[in-house]
A = this chain, B = another copy of it.
Amino acid sequence: MKQVYIYDSTLRDGAQAQGISFTVMDKLKIVEALDDFGISYIEAGNPGSNPKDLEFFENVKKIKLKHAKIAAFGSTRRVNVSVEEDANVKSLLVADTPAVTIFGKSWDFQVLDILKTTLDENLRMIYDTIAFFKKHNKEVIFDAEHFFDGYKSNREFAIKSLQAAYDAGADCLCLCDTNGGTFPSDIQRITSEVVNKFGIAVGIHTHNDNGMAVANSIIAVEAGAVQVQGTINGFGERCGNANLCTIIPNLQLKMDYSCIPEENMAKLTPTARYISEIANVIHDERSPYVGKSTFAHKAGMHADAVLKNTVAYEHIDPKLVGNKRTFLMSEVAGRSAVLHMIRAVDSSITKDSPQTALILERLKELEHEGYQYEGAESSFELEVRKILGKYHHFFKLREFKVIINEPSLEGINSSAMIKIEVDGQEEITAADGDGPVNALDKAVRKALERFYPQIKEMKLTDYKVRVLDSSSATAAKVRVLIESTDGREVWTTIGVSTDIVDASWKALVDSIEYKLIKDTHC
């Protein structure tokens, strides 16, 4: 198996994404996760551009890494400044990392129009900066910014920029598609030429502006590149960087390259989710290999076929990447998909058990009312448990009242009073909030915490409203989906009603009961 070195830039190029901003502590956690996963290089920041990054480099030295080398990222020296006196170059040295990545220009237009210097001075900037870090015994990667656009504009100059890096002793020449507009056929042809010409390690760094960053990376590897730069979940500016969570399994599971230790591949999905969590962005559930929808089957026919033989509609076994197969419960779901769920609760049930027919009947009824269990399997599991007698109510609602006031008092316009009962004991309490659902949510948790302290572990992470049959306007039925987590698991529940508060209440109750059932293994 040929080795491909994975170079992660989540902490640097990934942090350019709209809405992403890492603290020093976030960055340290991500370094540990990436190292544990088996990434070869972690590009951790640009110490010259960001004072937070210097604090980070101070701290990251204390982490004992198993696989990864830390790389500091920075520009070639400035125009007409000696390399020893360049502030950015000096801060890269202060960062004290085993690897340094230097980006420089290889597109003539960028040199002349943006940097406003001569092509020769630009080549000297590349040479001087790389020679400087080689003299300081660093492993040096040269990121040739805009390389493909540069090659198409002025091939000779683009190649000369690589030659300058090569002559200065660069360990790797990384070809960057900075604007993300290059096509696979060009990537193939140009990467091949560079690989053959220089005979040292070549890397590829792509962006997804034409939707082909992953394919471009794969094609570059086929053309001889041995380093792939990208980010976890494809985080990055504009449309993002090449998504390493797609590239790693593509190369290692399907092309016989080695990227990470084989035994770590099942950490892919948890690592991807963990880093989304730290970045505080909603995880892309449709993304290859690592989403919740990635191995979700909806069409009845597909779901039936998958149950017969998983290879029928799956390109790989989801377990290989730490993900799992799900069957979306829906009007088109076949009996076999439902059975799969039932048997997860009680494995003694077969498709001919009378309970199976009862559950299917109930499912039809609920779907007719507007319930839709795809993506809300936890609520469906509760229905199954009710019919199988593997359920009990953890609390009973006596009553609630929610009052909405306009004008509002100090911006909080809703207050909820709730009375619940647990094993004969009553609790009455109240909470206020932004809107009736928020107030009710806070009130019911407050009431239950006395009886079930583990409620404190859970939080709602997503809340979705869909209006069914919207032509009856404000009296239309609404479907509410609530996603919750307790840090270990994520579950989604559903409620349907003509009243959004009532629909939310149903989903909320299911979410709480699911958590309590899960914890007591009832």
State the A residues within 8 Å of B (CB).
Answer: 16-19, 21, 23, 25, 49-50, 109-110, 113-114, 178-181, 183-185, 208-212, 214-216, 218-219, 222, 234, 237-240, 243, 246-247, 250, 254-255, 280, 282, 284-288, 291-300, 302, 305, 308-309, 311-316, 328, 332, 372, 374-375, 397, 399-407, 413-414, 433-438, 441, 459-467, 469-471, 473-476, 478, 482-483, 497-502, 504-505
Contacts and interface: CB of A to CB of B under 8 A. Distances in A.
B308 A474 contact: no
A230 to B, nearest CB: 11
- When all copies of this chain in the complex are counted, the total is 2
Contacts of A497: 435
Interface of A is mostly: mixed
A254 B471 contact: no
A185 B254 contact: no
B294 A183 contact: no
Contact of A403 (B219, B238, B402): B402
Contacts of A314: 179
A19 B287 CA distance: 15
A120 B393 CA distance: 57
A326 to B, nearest CB: 9
A97 B206 CA distance: 43
Nearest to A240: B286
A407 B414 contact: no
Contacts of A181: 254, 315-316
Nearest to A463: B473
A250 B183 CA distance: 9
A194 to B, nearest CB: 19
Nearest to A179: B315
B474 A291 contact: no
Contacts of A214: 210-212, 215
Contacts of A219: 184-185
Contact of A464 (B17, B298, B436, B470): B470
Contacts of A459: 473
A308 B114 contact: yes
Contacts of A315: 179-181, 209-210
B309 A113 contact: yes
Contact of A434 (B234, B438, B498): B498
A199 B13 CA distance: 46
17 contacts: A18-B375, A19-B374, A113-B309, A179-B315, A237-B297, A237-B299, A238-B294, A401-B404, A413-B501, A414-B501, A436-B436, A437-B474, A438-B475, A461-B471, A463-B476, A464-B467, A465-B467
Nearest to A460: B473
A104 to B, nearest CB: 13
A498 B436 CA distance: 10
A260 to B, nearest CB: 17
A188 to B, nearest CB: 9
B113 A474 contact: no
Query: Which of A18, A375, A505 lies at the interface centre, i.e. has the most chain B CB atoms within 10 A of its CB?
Result: A18
Given A211-B288, A280-B466, A474 B250 contact: no
A482 B473 contact: yes
A317 to B, nearest CB: 12
Q: Which of A180, A212, A240, A399 has the most CB of B within 10 A?
A: A212
Contacts of A475: 433-435, 438
A439 to B, nearest CB: 9
A285 to B, nearest CB: 7
Contacts of A436: 402, 404, 436, 499-501
Contact of A49 (B211, B332, B441): B332
A237 B305 CA distance: 15
Given A210-B288, A500-B435, A18 B402 contact: no
A36 to B, nearest CB: 22
B299 A239 contact: no
Contact of A209 (B285, B294, B375, B500): B294
Given A218-B183, A461-B473, A499-B414, A302 B254 contact: no
Contacts of A184: 184, 215, 218-219
A476 B435 CA distance: 10
A498 B438 contact: yes
